[in-house]
């Protein structure tokens, strides 16, 4: 497949609420590779005809951000490098993309065969950009930022609410003598506990019963609480009441499910920090971080131009090829 045939549709989670059934329709018959994260959905296919069929099956796609050819490749490279994330340069997204590709390519299809060589090149370029442009950026993961927000641990265990992708990236970073994990589906909480102890064998993990009563009892004894679930108007009032009724003072709540605008029900809750605090922490970092990110984005654009010359291209071949770089901004 030529790079000019690559097609990408980008849906930001804040703008498009896509139900699982809609995503299944988008990826129906293995005609689209769907990458779904907590911040966005990216749909990859080949050829303008396939893109038109996608828009027929998924009307919201008509309003999505679209890329073709080298621009599509440049977007995927920025995406894999964490440059499209709110936490610019974050490292977890690359693993999510690789896992998504493993799941998609496990069932052979025409599209997986068309994409495989380009995906291999994409993964290679991602590793190179990260190594050359982002290696000295410092720790850029949600887990590392949560650890900074919590600071030194307080007395008592840390309660982690949720067991999805975000919780999986945060859990190994939590510095606590005991980690309590609660999730509506206990089996997923057990799997998260297993993953944490594979990485941190010394970490004591206790999986709570999936009942509301078990969660609220844990709020009453926790030193810190980290929420990796969306705000829930029905459950949050009870959570806040349990937190306020604790006998011991202090402790912090990091709520990663609160949007930047926050939620009125959480206003004034002692010890609360949310996503806006995390992003403000990043904005306060040095200008050097911005310089590095700009260089990484330029590197993604340059690689996309080179790849448009062929998957094995590593340098411009002549004056005609060099002219293509004139379109890349500083």
252 lies in the same domain as 295: no
Structure tokens belonging to residue 44: 């990859």
In three-state secondary structure terms, 44 is strand
The per-residue pLDDT for range 265-310, each reduced to its tens digit, is 888 888 898 877 777 766 666 556 777 888 889 999 999 988 888 7
CATH number at residue 322: 3.30.460.30
Is residue 173 very low, low, confident or very high in pLDDT (cuts 50, 70, 90)?
A: confident
In this structure, the answer to whether residues 102 and 133 fall within a common structural domain is yes
Q: Are residues 16 and 130 in the same domain?
A: yes
Pairing state of beta strands 204-207 and 178-182? parallel
> 154 and 199 in one domain?
yes
Give rounded-to-5 percent helix, strand, coil for the chain. Answer: 55, 15, 35
Structural domain count, the chain: 2
Residue pair 158/226 in contact by the 8 Å Cβ criterion: yes
Residue 221 exposed, middle or buried by CB count within 10 Å (0-12, 13-18, 19+) = middle
Burial 176-213 (b: 16+ CB within 10 A, else e): beebbbbbeebebbebbbebbeeebeebebebbeeeee
Task: Provide the token pair at 248.
Answer: 């011991």
- Residue 230 three-state SS: coil
324, HSE (Cβ side, Cα atoms, 13 Å) = 17
Using CA atoms, how far apart are residues 284 and 280, in angstroms rounded to an integer? 6
**Pick the residue with more confidence: 319 or 218?**
218
Domain final position from 263, 282, 301? 282
What are the tens digits of pLDDT across the range 142-161?
A: 787 788 778 655 678 999 99
| Co-location of 101 and 69 in the same domain | yes
User: Looking at the structure, do residues 108 and 228 belong to the same domain, yes or no?
Assistant: no
Arithmetic mean of pLDDT over the chain? 82
One domain, residues 277 and 297 = no
Same domain, 26 and 89: yes
Cα–Cα distance for residue pair 160/170, rounded to 1 Å:
9
Strand partners, 11: 41
Domain that holds residue 258: 142-282
- For the segment 187-238, what is each residue's pLDDT rounded down to a tens digit? 999 999 998 888 877 778 999 999 999 999 999 889 999 999 988 888 999 9
Last residue of a domain, one of 250, 267, 282: 282
Q: Are 200 and 221 in contact (CB under 8 A)?
A: no
The H helix count followed by the E strand count for the chain is 13, 10
pTM score over 0.85: no
60 and 40, same structural domain?
Answer: yes
Same domain assignment for residues 262 and 300: no
Distance CA 23, CA 139 (A): 32
Strand, helix or coil at 55?
Answer: helix
Same domain membership, residue 203 and residue 320: no
Do 151 and 234 fall within a single domain? Answer: yes
Instruction: Give the SS3 label for residue 206.
Output: strand
Residues 65, 66, 71, CA angle at the centre, nearest 5°?
120
CATH number reported for the structural domain that contains residue 246 in this entry: 3.40.50.720
């Amino acid at each position: 497949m030529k790079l000019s045939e690559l097609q990408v549709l980008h849906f930001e989670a804040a703008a498009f609420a896509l139900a699982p059934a809609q995503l299944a329709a988008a990826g129906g018959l293995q005609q689209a590779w769907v990458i779904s994260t907590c911040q966005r959905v990216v749909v990859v296919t080949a050829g303008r005809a396939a893109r038109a069929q996608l828009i027929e099956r998924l009307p919201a796609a008509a309003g999505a951000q679209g890329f073709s050819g080298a621009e599509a490749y440049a977007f995927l490279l920025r995406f894999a490098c964490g440059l499209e994330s709110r936490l610019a340069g974050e490292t977890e997204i690359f693993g999510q993309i690789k896992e998504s590709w493993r799941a998609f390519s496990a069932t052979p299809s025409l599209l997986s065969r068309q994409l495989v060589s380009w995906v291999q090149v994409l993964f290679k370029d991602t590793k190179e950009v990260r190594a050359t442009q982002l290696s000295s950026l410092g720790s850029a993961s949600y887990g590392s930022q949560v650890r900074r927000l919590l600071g030194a641990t307080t007395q008592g265990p840390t309660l982690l609410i949720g067991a999805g992708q975000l919780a999986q990236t945060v859990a190994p970073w939590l510095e606590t003598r005991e980690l309590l994990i609660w999730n509506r589906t206990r089996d997923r909480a057990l799997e998260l506990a297993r993953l944490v102890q594979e990485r941190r064998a010394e970490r004591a993990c206790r999986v709570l019963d999936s009942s509301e009563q078990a969660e609220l009892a844990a709020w009453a004894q926790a030193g810190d609480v980290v929420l990796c679930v969306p705000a829930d108007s029905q459950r949050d009032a009870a959570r806040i009441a349990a937190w306020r009724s604790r006998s011991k003072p202090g402790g912090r709540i990091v709520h990663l499910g609160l949007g930047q605008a926050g939620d009125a029900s959480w206003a004034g809750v002692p010890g609360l920090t949310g996503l806006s605090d995390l992003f403000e922490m990043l904005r306060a970092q040095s200008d050097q971080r911005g310089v590095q990110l700009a260089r990484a984005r330029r590197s993604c654009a340059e690689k996309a131009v080179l790849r448009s010359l062929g998957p094995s291209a590593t340098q411009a071949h002549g004056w005609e090829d060099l002219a293509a770089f004139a379109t890349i901004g500083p």
